[in-house]
């Protein structure tokens, strides 16, 4: 299903401009017009799904294959210090477009992007309790 007003659906239908990198039946990759770094690309599902909770398994698999293809190309083209693959769900995760997408984000040691966190050992009982809650939901 495509949503008429969704900008990513419009890009997938070639109704809105984009710097398209590659596409297949289930996914499409294009440059982010608000790049956090040079080479910042997006990979979307062609189907309209708001987030990871809604996207179909075939579309998710296609997106992941395209993410890997684009990541290899971005890595070869820009030779970054690292590369982040980011997928956000909902306002608490700063999802900016309500259409399932993944960021392929070249990183440098000096980029100052605030998406890294310091490693701090967790309390084992709290980790075990969290694992129990997740297993119960599976």
**Greatest Cα-to-Cα distance within the chain, rounded to the nearest angstrom:** 52
- The total of structural domains in the chain comes to 1
CA gap 132, 138 in Å, rounded: 10
**Token representation of residue 110:** 């000096």
Do 8 and 101 meet the contact criterion of CB atoms below 8 Å apart?
A: yes
* Assigned domain for 38 exists: yes
Do 108 and 79 meet the contact criterion of CB atoms below 8 Å apart?
A: no
Average pLDDT of the residues in 87-94: 94
Residue 77: domain span: 7-137
Q: Which residue of the set 26, 48, 101, 103 is catalytic?
A: 101
* Assigned domain for 113 exists: yes
pLDDT bin (cut points 50, 70, 90) of residue 1 is low
CA angle 62, 75, 35 (to 5 degrees): 80
Q: How confident is the model over 49-66, as pLDDT tens digits?
A: 999 999 999 999 999 999
**Domain harbouring 106, CATH code:** 3.30.428.10
Is there a catalytic annotation at residue 101? Answer: yes
pLDDT bin (cut points 50, 70, 90) of residue 119 is confident
Q: By three-state DSSP, how is residue 108 classified?
A: coil
């Amino acid at each position: 299903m495509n949503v008429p007003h969704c900008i990513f659906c419009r890009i997938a239908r070639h109704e809105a401009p984009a710097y398209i990198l590659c596409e297949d039946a289930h996914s499409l990759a294009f440059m982010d017009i608000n790049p956090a770094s040079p080479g910042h690309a997006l990979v979307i599902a062609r189907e309209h799904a708001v987030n990871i909770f809604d996207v179909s398994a075939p579309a998710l698999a296609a997106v992941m294959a395209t993410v890997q293809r684009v990541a290899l190309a971005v890595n070869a083209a820009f030779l970054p210090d690292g590369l982040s693959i980011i997928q956000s769900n909902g306002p608490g995760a700063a999802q900016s477009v309500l259409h399932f997408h993944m960021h392929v984000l070249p990183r440098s040691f000096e980029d100052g992007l605030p998406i890294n966190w310091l490693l701090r050992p967790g309390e084992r009982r709290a980790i075990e309790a969290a694992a129990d809650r997740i297993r119960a939901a599976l």
